[in-house]
Amino acid sequence: MPDRTAVRPAEPQVDLKASVAAAVEAARSEILDLSHRIHANPEPAFEEHQAATWVAEVLRDHGYHVEHPAGSLATAIRATRRGERGEGPRIGILAEYDALPGLGHGCGHNTMAASGVGAAIALAAVAGELPGEIVFLGTPAEERGSGKQIMIDDGLFDGIDAALLYHPCDRNHVESHPLASEDADIVFTGLQAHAASDPWKGRNALDAMILLFSSVGLWRQQLRPTSRVHGIIKEGGTAANIIPDRATAWFMLRSDDQAYYEEMKARFTAMCEGAALATGTTVEVTYSGGATTMRNNQVLAERFRANMAAYGIDDMGDDPFAGSTDMANVSWVCPTIHPELAICDEGVPGHSILFRDAAATPRADETTLLAATLVAQTAVELFTDPALVEAAWAEFRAG
């Protein structure tokens, strides 16, 4: 390990951390304006065209070299800015900006987009003092489709030494253990017939779907409490007097245990096939892929926690009721954390109208600015302390 004191004296880092905090404050209205614009214009996964364009614009204004689109996703962004102190780590600042269909920003990703941009603005302001490269990654489709896995496959995470972000919550906590999660698209295909004059000529795709929901409902009794399976019917026929020849559903399967998840997936596929067999229909099951559990990097978590503490914020401990995130996929590629900060009182459920409305309040605004500062300060520590980056990678490699 390199000698830290030989690499840098301690004092300048303290100054840089104060500088990024001041830079966030100076960009206050720009950051919050972005948060509110995105909140007022919710766009679902893969369709975040306006949000991505706004994010890219601000980054360009702050001297970033912006690729948008980046890789195969039209709404992905990679924006880079080299520090002026020579070679060093490449620190990733991530931001999501997708909303939930029919609900809007019920997960508060507008605050995450704005805080990620805020951190990037702050780091650009001290780029003259940093080695290495700031890499902002705008990551679409967190709510559905694992956009980050697609960006990983596109090579956009190659060479990144650490991945940082902030997610809004009703509590303050640094670590979380999200469930491995995957989307499953189900299509049952049958045969149309008149529902009164000759129904015996039909094969009922909706019946197959109802059997599948019944099977899943009974299965839940035997599932481990840390697993989830839930879905909606998207198409269930077109008229009551036609035997439906097509029924489609969107399911999600989740577990905190990778091996158990694979068992669940095999069982779910068998249930789909069983429902088809029982109704004389055929079934197609398409999985989104990329379900993984999360590895919280302790070296990064400790730094973020210390930066929080400097603002008087305690880590309330791991959230026992985690959902899922494609940040888990990133955690298998490089050292990663997924800290969450409160934008509302404890107990407000995520993915709800209450949480959506909380994401545009003055309290959420203050959290957004603080998150930008904490992410930027954690990045500053990584940029200026090679031993820290090395320790994060050593932990990563040790598994």
Q: Which is nearer to Zn ion, 107 or 120 (CB)?
A: 107
Cβ 323 to Zn ion, closest distance in Å? 7
Name the residue number minimizing CB distance to Zn ion: 107
Q: Which is nearer to Zn ion, 181 or 384 (CB)?
A: 181
Cα-based torsion angle of the residue sequence 245, 251, 148, 350 in order, rounded to the nearest 10 degrees:
130
Cβ 293 to Zn ion, closest distance in Å? 17
Task: Say if residues 208 and 281 touch (Cβ distance below 8 Å).
Answer: yes
Cβ 109 to Zn ion, closest distance in Å? 6
Q: Which is nearer to Zn ion, 107 or 379 (CB)?
A: 107
Cβ-proximal residues to 18 (8 Å cutoff; 6+ apart), any chain: none
Q: Which is nearer to Zn ion, 107 or 283 (CB)?
A: 107
CA 52 – CA 69 distance, rounded (Å): 9
Question: Order of strands, edge to edge, in the sheet holding 282-287?
Answer: 227-235, 246-255, 180-189, 282-287
Cβ 44 to Zn ion, closest distance in Å? 13
Residue with tokens 């007022």: 40
CA 96 – CA 110 distance, rounded (Å): 8
3-state secondary structure of 169: strand
Relative to beta strand 246-255, strand 227-235 is antiparallel
Binding string, 360-389, against Zn ion, x = CB under 5 A?
A: ------------------------------
Q: Which is nearer to Zn ion, 107 or 364 (CB)?
A: 107
Cβ 72 to Zn ion, closest distance in Å? 22
Task: Say if residues 392 and 15 touch (Cβ distance below 8 Å).
Answer: no
Q: Which is nearer to Zn ion, 107 or 341 (CB)?
A: 107
**Strand blocks (E) in the chain:** 65-67, 77-82, 90-95, 133-138, 162-164, 167-169, 180-189, 227-235, 246-255, 282-287, 340-342
Choose the binding region for Zn ion from 62-70, 99-107, 234-242, 309-317 (rule: CB under 5 A). Answer: 99-107
Cβ 148 to Zn ion, closest distance in Å? 12
Phi-psi region of 190 (alpha: psi -120 to 50; beta: other; left: phi over 0): beta
Cβ 51 to Zn ion, closest distance in Å? 14
Cβ 110 to Zn ion, closest distance in Å? 11
Question: What tokens were used for 34?
Answer: 């972005």
Question: What tokens were used for 277?
Answer: 């067999």
Cβ 358 to Zn ion, closest distance in Å? 13
Size of the site for Zn ion (CB under 5 A): 1
Task: Assess 341 for contact with Zn ion (CB under 5 A).
Answer: no
Q: Which is nearer to Zn ion, 107 or 184 (CB)?
A: 107
Please tell me what DSSP assigns to residue 161.
S
Q: Distances from the Cα of 275 to the Cαs of 12, 249, 281, in angstroms? A: 65, 13, 8
CA 46 – CA 57 distance, rounded (Å): 19
Task: Assess 107 for contact with Zn ion (CB under 5 A).
Answer: yes
Cβ 73 to Zn ion, closest distance in Å? 17
Task: Assess 337 for contact with Zn ion (CB under 5 A).
Answer: no
Choose the binding region for Zn ion from 84-92, 100-108, 223-231, 382-390 (rule: CB under 5 A). Answer: 100-108
CA 141 – CA 68 distance, rounded (Å): 15
Q: Which is nearer to Zn ion, 203 or 254 (CB)?
A: 254
Q: Which is nearer to Zn ion, 234 or 351 (CB)?
A: 351
Q: What DSSP element (H or E) covers 30?
A: helix 28-40
Choose the binding region for Zn ion from 48-56, 106-114, 257-265, 391-399 (rule: CB under 5 A). Answer: 106-114
Q: Which is nearer to Zn ion, 209 or 294 (CB)?
A: 294
Describe the crossing of helices 362-384 and 109-125 by its angle, rounded to 10 degrees: 40
Residues that bind Zn ion (CB under 5 A): 107
